[in-house]
Amino acid sequence: MQVNLKNLVSMTEANQNFSKVAKMVDEDGTAVILKNNKPRYVIIDYSKFQEDEITDNQTVEDVSKKILRKHIKAFEELAK
């Protein structure tokens, strides 16, 4: 994930003006909240989160298919 430097917000500012953080997320998809001048939290648009989740699940599915193809004889033997 790439972070836009203009979307960095201090913890204090996020606490005092969360609507500003929400607006950043609406405009750019993410915002990073800094704690002690270090990135600590990422706020992400929920639809972007869902897209990433689907991608992760597809990756797991692809890996499982690869393992199944590689070891199909062993799985067939275990199924007996």
58 shares its domain with 75: yes
Whether 38 and 12 map to the same domain: the answer is yes
- Secondary structure string (H, E, C) spanning the chain: CCCCHHHEEEHHHHHHCHHHHHHHHHHHCEEEEEECCEEEEEEECHHHHHHHHHHHHHHHHHHHHHHHHHCHHHHHHHHC
Please tell me the total count of domains within the chain: 2
Query: For residue 31, what pLDDT is reported?
Result: 92
pLDDT in tens, 1-39: 566 678 899 999 999 999 999 999 999 888 999 999 999
- Based on the domain organization, do 54 and 18 belong to the same domain? no
Interatomic CA distance for residues 75 and 70, integer angstroms = 10
Q: Quick one: 50 and 18 in the same domain?
A: no
The mean pLDDT value for 30-53 works out to 86
Instruction: Say which CATH number the domain at 6 has.
Output: 3.40.1620
67 confidence band (pLDDT: 50, 70, 90)? confident
* Residue 52: domain span: 46-80
